[in-house]
Amino acid sequence: MLITMTILDSDRVVPQYRIRRMPCRPSRESVKPLSGAATAPISDALYRRGCLPGEIHALYSPAPHIVGPAYTVQASPADQLLALYAIAHAQPGDVIVLAGTCTDSGVAWGGIMSAMAKKRGIAALVTDGFVRDLKQCEASGFPIYARGVRPLAPCKDVPPGDVNFPVAVGNVVIFPGDVIVADEDGVVVIPLDLVEDVVRALDVRDVKEASWLDRIASEDTVLFSDSVDQALAARATWIESERDTFAEKSQGDETR
C-alpha cells in the first residue's frame, strides 16, 4: 500500500518522498536453512548474479553472518531521514538496505542509529555509502556491511527518497523482501521467488563439495585437471616443455 501524506502540486507527478509497506516477506521456514549458508555457493547457484560490489564489506572482524529480508531505502547522499524511518518501521529480522548515500561529504548512519536498530531487532545494515562512529557501532553489536568509515556528519530531510521500492547497489537491483545473505566474502542477494530453489541447490552443492574434499584427502590428484587440459588443447596454447628449455639453452651456448 502506498502511503500518501500530502497533496501533490499540479505540476508534480510523484511526491518528494515515497513510502511503501513491505509488500512481501519470505517465510521464516524458507529462510531458516540459509542461517549457516555461505555466500559463495549461493552465488554459484545464481550463476554469479546477485553479488554486491566487493567494496561493500563487513566493518568488524570476524565478519558477522547475516540473513534477512531486504527493507530497501533509496536516499540522497548522506541523508539519514529515511534511514531513521526504516529503523522505526522495519520488522525484527529485516536487513536495512540503504542505497544512494555514497559521498565524500557526509554519512547517513552512525553509532546512535546502530544502537537503536539493535534494540529494535533489525538484523543488519547493508549500504553502498559510509558510516561513522565505528567503535560505537561495533560496541552495539549491530552488524554493518558498508563501503567504509568517515567521521563526517549526516544531513537530514534532503529529498527525494523512497522506502520499499527497488534499489540498485552496484549492478544488482534489490527488491523489498529479497533475501540478503552476508559473510566474510561479501554480500549476495537472493530474489524472493528463488529462495526455496536456492536452498535445494545448496543441499546438492554440499554433497558435491564433500565428495571433492574426500577425493582430495584420499587421492594424489588435482580435481578438474582433465577439463583444464581439454580447454587448453582447444585453444592456441603454448606450454614450455623440457625439450623447449634444452633447445633454448643449447642455442644460447652456441652463440657464446
pLDDT digits (tens, 9 = 90+) for 116-153: 999 999 999 999 999 999 999 999 999 999 999 999 99
SS3 2: strand
Which of the residues in the chain have pLDDT under 50? 1
Total domains, the chain: 2
Distance separating alpha carbons of residues 175 and 43, to the nearest angstrom? 17
Q: What is the pTM of this model?
A: 0.86
Same domain, 237 and 123: no
Distance separating alpha carbons of residues 191 and 193, to the nearest angstrom? 6
pLDDT at 249: 57
**Set of cell numbers at residue 69:** 529480508
Report the DSSP pairing between strands 167-169 and 148-149: unpaired
Same domain, 219 and 183: no
Cis peptide before 62, with omega less than 30 degrees from 0? yes
**Set of cell numbers at residue 138:** 561495533
Q: Classify residue 70: in a domain, yes or no.
A: yes
Q: Classify residue 40: in a domain, yes or no.
A: yes
Same domain, 156 and 234: no
Distance separating alpha carbons of residues 156 and 154, to the nearest angstrom? 7
Q: Classify residue 137: in a domain, yes or no.
A: yes
Same domain, 142 and 238: no
Distance separating alpha carbons of residues 209 and 137, to the nearest angstrom? 36
- Contact by Cβ (8 Å): 187, 39: yes
Q: Classify residue 51: in a domain, yes or no.
A: yes
Same domain, 226 and 101: no
CA distances from 106 to 68, 78, 149, 153, 245 (A): 27, 5, 10, 5, 59
CA distances from 218 to 110, 126, 204, 215 (A): 51, 41, 22, 5
Q: Classify residue 10: in a domain, yes or no.
A: yes
Same domain, 132 and 171: yes
Q: Where a domain ends, among 163, 192, 221?
A: 192
Same domain, 130 and 155: yes
Distance separating alpha carbons of residues 117 and 133, to the nearest angstrom? 14
Segment holding 8, helix H or strand E: none
Report the DSSP pairing between strands 161-163 and 130-131: unpaired
**Grid-cell match 639453452, residue found:** 249
Same domain, 211 and 187: no
**Set of cell numbers at residue 23:** 509488500
pLDDT at 251: 61
E-assigned strands of the chain? Answer: 2-3, 17-20, 57-58, 66-74, 95-99, 124-127, 130-131, 144-146, 148-149, 161-163, 167-169, 172-174, 179-183, 186-190
Same domain, 176 and 115: yes
pLDDT at 1: 47
SS3 159: coil
Q: Where a domain ends, among 139, 169, 192?
A: 192
Same domain, 121 and 168: yes
SS3 86: helix
Domain of 34, CATH number, reads 3.50.30.40
Amino acid, res. 159 = P
Q: Classify residue 127: in a domain, yes or no.
A: yes
SS3 30: helix
Q: Classify residue 202: in a domain, yes or no.
A: no
Residue range(s) defining the domain that contains residue 248: 207-254
pLDDT at 147: 95
Same domain, 143 and 244: no
pLDDT at 57: 96
- Contact by Cβ (8 Å): 172, 50: yes
Same domain, 77 and 143: yes
pLDDT at 245: 60
**234: Cβ contacts below 8 Å, ≥ 6 apart:** none
